[in-house]
Structure 1
Amino acid sequence: MTAPHQTSLTAEYDSADRACAIERSIRPEIDDIEGDRTTARLSRNGRQVELAVEAADLVALRAGINTWLTLRGVAEDALAGHS
């Protein structure tokens, strides 16, 4: 999908191991959640995890951002409980 609306959500963690754990938690959702109006890409570089969200329209972009921020937050909360 080449979408006219896009954003990048980047989070930096205190260690590469924590970033890797966040990435592993979110990665299975990438293919499961995509729809006709939004797509997402996930990447990690050391301590940073980046989610790129693209959408056909602004409403879909907002919904995609909310979904991915929620999933990232759940992964962070789950890791915090195991620290």
Structure 2
Amino acid sequence: MDHEAVFDCEYPDAERARRVERSVAVEAGDIEGDRTTATLERDGATLTVTVSAADLVALRAGCNTWLSLVAVAEECGAAVTAD
């Protein structure tokens, strides 16, 4: 893949980062195509999402997808911890 974007998502604690990671990790193999791939890594309270793509259009689409997935996981996690 010729293009790459790396996003570091920092959380207040490692448990929240783990929760988001586990929520979106199930999608890693399911939504990848011929033009994009994504990897997730967590180090304590930081989740790193790396999107790789064959072209810039695919990179933009992949970034939008993964950032949306992370945002939804964060919102759902916030709703669970608010109860």
Do both proteins adopt the same fold according to a TM-score greater than 0.5, normalized to the shorter chain? yes
Q: Please provide the CA RMSD for this pair.
A: 0.4
Residue of structure 2 in register with 1:5 after alignment = 3
Q: Distance in 1 between matches of 2:15 and 2:38?
A: 22
Runs of 5+ consecutive residues of structure 1 not aligned to the other structure: none
Q: Distance in 2 between matches of 1:26 and 1:48?
A: 14
Runs of 5+ consecutive residues of structure 2 not aligned to the other structure: none
* C-alpha displacement of 1:76: 0.2
- The number of residues matched between the two structures is 81
Q: Distance in 2 between matches of 1:20 and 1:77?
A: 14
* C-alpha displacement of 1:15: 0.4
Q: Percent identity at matched positions?
A: 52
TM-score, length-scaled by structure 2:
0.96
Q: Is 2:27 aligned against 1:32? A: no
| 1:33 match: secondary structure | coil
TM-score, length-scaled by structure 1:
0.96
Runs of 4 or more consecutive aligned structure 1 residues displaced over 4 Å after TM superposition:
none
Q: Is 2:54 aligned against 1:56? A: yes
